[in-house]
Amino acid sequence: MLQLNGLTKVYSTGDKALSDVTLTIPNGQVLALIGPSGAGKSTLIRCINRLVEPTSGSAILDDINITTLGAGGLRKQRRRMGMIFQEYALVERLTVMENVLSGRLGYVGFWRSFLRKFPQSDVDAAYRLLDRVGLLEMADKRADELSGGQRQRVGICRALIQDPSLLLVDEPTASLDPKTSRQIMRLICELCEERGLAAIINIHDVALAQMFVERVVGLESGKVVFDGGPDELTPEVLTQIYGEEDWEATIEAVDEEDNEGADA
């Protein structure tokens, strides 16, 4: 279970990116974080694994306060939080296999990783994951030879091989076409269900979020302004999160997509 208590981030420029965010995410819950650009979605998930240092408040993962950990303790906890990035963030000049295995870096020593002599169990796990996402044949290709959707699958494998209990997902579909977007979202949600993983998914495609998740949190100017089920997202709520716009069309589109989305 992940608990965020009054998480606040003020950047050195004085911008208040997060103010007093309090959330509880039970084990195995997939949560979509929606909100306009600059609302603090990325900052929020980066404050959880401390790629960004929160100014105050705490993030507690299964009774361990991540915000107060020293460098060694933080590395150990980061192993339990897999992260998936917007622009895939694969190391482009490394092979697919190296990228996937880099998810095990928190578990193996420097020399082992430097010589690429990962334990056989890690190698097998990498092969299994690549097979699961349909990229087994690509194992020795360089990451920059893959298409966007394929790269994001590798990114998913890298996060999952960490054997995490929580996934932090930052705009996984922002650079993908609509069909691939859905496939990636479906894959992430399926894998979370298979493994009982909790996930926080930043996403600005409201319709896509509604299709796949059980809980939606709306963030606006660093504050939580909505927390509820996907069907509670009414035009009034969307106006509160994003500002005035004709929301009926968005919501209708979702209903249509729901009907034909299953076979995409």
When the beta carbons of 87 and 252 are compared against another protein, the nearer one is 87
**CB 202 to another protein: min, Å:** 14
When the beta carbons of 99 and 180 are compared against another protein, the nearer one is 99
When the beta carbons of 15 and 87 are compared against another protein, the nearer one is 87
When the beta carbons of 21 and 101 are compared against another protein, the nearer one is 101
Helix runs in the chain, H state only? 41-48, 71-78, 96-101, 110-114, 120-132, 148-160, 178-195, 206-212, 235-242, 248-260
Tokens 């999952």 label which residue?
160
**CB 49 to another protein: min, Å:** 6
Q: Which two tokens stand for residue 232?
A: 């509670």
Q: Which of 12, 15, 22, 46 minimizes the C-alpha distance to 168?
A: 46
Residues at the site binding another protein, with contacts judged by CB under 8 A: 49, 51, 75-79, 81-83, 85, 87, 89-94, 98, 102-107, 110, 113-114, 155, 158, 162, 168
* Cβ atoms within 10 Å, residue 35: 25
When the beta carbons of 103 and 218 are compared against another protein, the nearer one is 103
When the beta carbons of 57 and 82 are compared against another protein, the nearer one is 82
**CB 55 to another protein: min, Å:** 19
Q: How many helices (H) and strands (E) does the chain have?
A: 10, 10
**CB 219 to another protein: min, Å:** 21
Q: Which of 248, 219, 255 minimizes the C-alpha distance to 9?
A: 219
Please say whether the beta carbons of 81 and 64 come within 8 A: no
**CB 230 to another protein: min, Å:** 28
Sheet containing 215-220, strands listed edge to edge, beginning at the edge strand earlier in sequence: 81-84, 166-170, 198-202, 30-34, 215-220, 223-228
**CB 88 to another protein: min, Å:** 8
